[in-house]
């Protein structure tokens, strides 16, 4: 009888080890230069390589951390902000944990903005826009100036924003509304993230769900969350209107 060859499952002497990448393989995988990888390592944004003799090797955890760093940069995080963000993630976080952070960072609405020059933006708006009008569009989140002096434009909302400007919507009101959205948005994001981190993520992790399953769950949850926020906002506005009407009625009594 032919005996089966020993395998990682049948032989106690064989221990599974994560796949190791050379520095060159790592840079090819994440699309970063050797210099950048070494810089991020020196800053503690990624752990040092695993040593095998005189050579250093990298794992999927290194890949996941570098991909998260790249995503944070794309979202406008400064180096110090990235350091602070990663400092809050446990050092032993798995590649799956880090992939979840990347999924939460991705846009919660399907639309992506289009970068335009000021001239292109004016052409799309149908006329040249003044500085005050651009400030109003920025406050409304329709056209935001980036570091290169160009504008990230929500093309589906541009006509709405220009229409509000044409109706005389005050820039000060747009800025004040933006401040309200920002303040409450931060608190809402913190509380929802706490719910996700303490209740949703542990349940999936403990059940052994794959990273793909978790990412799909988050992506499906995003539009439902947006719809729930809109519904809650509409209900609150209706309640506020009823309270104002009731207050005026009591004042006339």
Would you give the DSSP letter of residue 21?
Answer: B
Question: Which pLDDT does position 90 carry in this prediction?
Answer: 81
Whole-number Å distance between alpha carbons of 132 and 41:
44
β-partners of residue 114 are: 153
Sign of the Cα torsion 234, 236, 242, 244 reads negative
Per-residue pLDDT tens digits for 177-214:
888 888 888 888 788 878 877 888 788 878 887 767 87
What is this structure's pTM?
Answer: 0.53
Q: Which tokens go with 109?
A: 């609405």
Q: pLDDT of 85-95, one tens digit each? A: 888 888 788 77
Q: Where are the alpha helices (DSSP H) in the chain?
A: 23-30, 34-42, 60-74, 79-87, 95-105, 118-125, 131-139, 155-166, 171-195, 201-206, 211-252
Structure tokens at 130: 């003044």
Q: What is the pLDDT of residue 112?
A: 67
Q: Which positions of the chain have pLDDT values less than 50?
A: 1-16
Instruction: Please tell me what DSSP assigns to residue 149.
Output: S
């Amino acid at each position: 009888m032919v005996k089966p060859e020993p395998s990682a499952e049948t032989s106690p002497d064989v221990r599974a080890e994560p796949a190791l990448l050379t520095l060159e393989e790592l840079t090819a995988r994440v699309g970063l230069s050797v210099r950048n990888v070494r810089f991020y390592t020196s800053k503690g944004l990624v752990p040092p390589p695993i040593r095998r003799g005189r050579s250093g090797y990298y794992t999927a955890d290194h890949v996941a951390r570098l991909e998260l760093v790249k995503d944070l940069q794309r979202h406008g995080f400064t180096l110090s902000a990235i350091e602070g963000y990663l400092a809050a993630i446990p050092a032993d976080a798995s590649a799956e944990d880090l992939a979840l952070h990347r999924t939460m960072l991705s846009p919660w609405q399907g639309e992506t903005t289009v970068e335009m020059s000021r001239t292109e933006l004016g052409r799309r708006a149908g006329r040249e826009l003044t500085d005050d009008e651009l400030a109003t569009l920025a406050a409304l989140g329709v056209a935001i100036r980036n570091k290169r002096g160009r504008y990230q434009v929500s093309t589906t909302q541009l006509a709405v924003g220009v229409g509000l400007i044409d109706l005389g919507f005050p820039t000060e009101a747009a800025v004040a509304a933006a401040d309200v959205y920002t303040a409450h948005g931060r608190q809402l994001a913190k509380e929802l993230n706490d719910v996700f981190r303490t209740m949703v993520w542990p349940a999936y992790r403990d059940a052994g769900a794959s990273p793909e399953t978790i990412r799909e769950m988050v992506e499906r949850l995003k539009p439902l969350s947006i719809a729930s926020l809109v519904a809650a906002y509409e209900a609150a506005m209706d309640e506020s209107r009823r309270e104002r009407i009731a207050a005026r009625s009591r004042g006339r009594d």
